[in-house]
Amino acid sequence: MSPPAVHVALMEGRSYAVHFEPLATAPMHLRDVGLDGPRALVVTDETVGPLHLDALADALRADGRTVEATAVPAGEASKSIDQLAALHDWALGLGIDRTTPLLALGGGVVGDLAGFAAATLLRGIPLVHLPTTTISQVDSAIGGKTGINHAAGKNLVGAFHQPRVVLADPATLDTLDDRAFRSGLAEAVKHALISDPELADRLDREWDALVARAPAVLPPLLRDAAAVKARVVEADEREAGERAFLNFGHTFAHALEKEAGYGTLTHGEAVALGMRAALHLSESLRLGRVADALDRFAEADRLVSRLAPPVPDLDVDALMAATATDKKRTAAGVRYVVLDAVGQPRLAADVNEAMLRAAWRYALRG
């Protein structure tokens, strides 16, 4: 049985649902939000297309719709101005109108790219996310951030464009390799740590069944992790305040990704190590001195450590320098998301160098 949908309520009375159900239910969910026109555009990638497009397209055709599909190359490089332009050419060449929905079938790359195409075509056509990775099901398909990368940095060109509905089929995760599957779980763990102690307990208790992708355990946990993202987005649709807590572990993670060389660590692996550092920093701030043990965060540390990769051989000085240039820094300097307790995040400005060094050493000691 599928878990109940997550509802995302936005400003001005807008809202959308995130369903954890089979792809074959897409026609019904499109209809429920008024997307009952005769055609559907689908953007996927060259890995996901051969695996999951048929299930979706067959259901849409059985519902009497024409399906036009295109696939971009798999991988981060597709979040580019060239791929965006190619999607514009493709969609406009098909003679779409403002009611034609664009369905993004794939991971965060397809969601961000196709989402930005939907935001910009005819000044905005309806977007439907059909996320197929752990990270996209619990995170990137929710919240309306779309975009591409630029030579000056990741995700620097984009727009907010909320989906009309999200349909996350947990069964699509069966074809995901173990590294990608676990990498996305880092964001689920992060969601639990910043806002849901009960979910953190469940993740800890049900860990083995979760990583075995047990059908009775995985969908409800994905659903509850997605619900955290939904609540944060609701509270802070345009990322001015509370949404910053989603960066827990990420200031450290960005430095790790940079210093290890982009692509060496997955984003989730870097986030897992980054959360170890952030937990250590949280403890140091609480004690008012450099912490040497994490007793109070033992369960949290156990959770993130399960996702951490073999520790890369990196220089703490280089990591310290890389954190100082994080793009999320403000005029006041880098502000770290720390926890006063599981479920109680805050932004800390009172971080000193000794605490930071100790946090890095802790995260890197394995």
**Catalytic residue list:** 123, 145, 187, 229, 239, 243, 247, 250, 254, 267
Cα–Cα dist 27/29, whole Å: 6
Residue 155 sits in the site that holds ligand NAD (CB under 6 A):
yes
Question: How near is the Cβ of 111 to ligand NAD at its closest, in Å?
Answer: 6
Nearer Cβ to ligand NAD (56/173): 173
Task: Name the one range near ligand NAD by CB under 6 A: 100-108, 220-228, 294-302, 315-323.
Answer: 100-108
Q: What pairs with residue 160 in β-bridges?
A: 145
Contact between residue 163 and residue 10 where contact means Cβ atoms under 8 Å apart: no
Q: Which two tokens stand for residue 323?
A: 């954190």
Residue 27 sits in the site that holds ligand NAD (CB under 6 A):
no
Cα–Cα dist 84/78, whole Å: 8
Nearer Cβ to ligand NAD (169/301): 169
What type of residue is 246?
L
Cα–Cα dist 198/204, whole Å: 10
Question: How near is the Cβ of 48 to ligand NAD at its closest, in Å?
Answer: 5
Question: Which of 19, 29, 65, 79 touches ligand NAD by CB under 6 A?
Answer: 79
The three-class DSSP label of residue 155 is strand
DSSP assignment of 315-349: -HHHHHHHHHT-TT-BTTB--EEEEEETTEEEEE-
Who's near 363: CB < 8 A, 6+ residues apart?
252, 273, 274, 276, 277, 280, 308, 311
Nearer Cβ to ligand NAD (32/76): 76
Nearer Cβ to ligand NAD (176/348): 176
Question: Which of 29, 145, 164, 254 touches ligand NAD by CB under 6 A?
Answer: 145
Task: Name the one range near ligand NAD by CB under 6 A: 16-24, 75-83, 286-294, 296-304.
Answer: 75-83
What type of residue is 37?
G
Q: Which residue has its beta carbon closest to ligand NAD?
A: 108
Residue 51 sits in the site that holds ligand NAD (CB under 6 A):
yes
Residue 247 sits in the site that holds ligand NAD (CB under 6 A):
no
Residue 76 sits in the site that holds ligand NAD (CB under 6 A):
yes
Site string for ligand NAD, 104-143 (x = CB under 6 A): --xxxxx-x-------------------xx-xx--xx--x
Closest CA to 84 of 157, 141, 133: 157
Instruction: Give the CA distances from residue 235 to residues 156, 169, 191, 246, 345, in Å, rounded to whole numbers and listed in that order.
Output: 23, 26, 15, 12, 15
Question: How near is the Cβ of 153 to ligand NAD at its closest, in Å?
Answer: 11
Cα–Cα dist 161/124, whole Å: 8
Which phi and psi angles does 285 have, rounded to 5°? -65, -40
Question: How near is the Cβ of 56 to ligand NAD at its closest, in Å?
Answer: 12
Q: Which two tokens stand for residue 284?
A: 């140091």
Site string for ligand NAD, 169-198 (x = CB under 6 A): ---xx-xx---x------------------
For residue 338, count CB atoms less than 10 angstroms from its CB and return exposed for 0-12, middle for 13-18, buried for 19 or more.
buried
Task: Name the one range near ligand NAD by CB under 6 A: 69-77, 84-92, 254-262, 317-325.
Answer: 69-77
Question: How near is the Cβ of 45 to ligand NAD at its closest, in Å?
Answer: 5
Q: At what angle do helices 298-307 and 197-205 cross, to 10 degrees?
A: 60
Task: Name the one range near ligand NAD by CB under 6 A: 101-109, 207-215, 233-241, 308-316.
Answer: 101-109
Nearer Cβ to ligand NAD (40/135): 135
Question: How near is the Cβ of 53 to ligand NAD at its closest, in Å?
Answer: 11
What type of residue is 254?
H
What is the gyration radius of the CA atoms in the chain, in angstroms?
Answer: 20
Q: What pairs with residue 17 in β-bridges?
A: 7
Binding site for ligand NAD (CB under 6 A): 45, 47-48, 51, 74-76, 79, 106-110, 112, 132-133, 135-136, 139-140, 143, 145, 155, 172-173, 175-176, 180
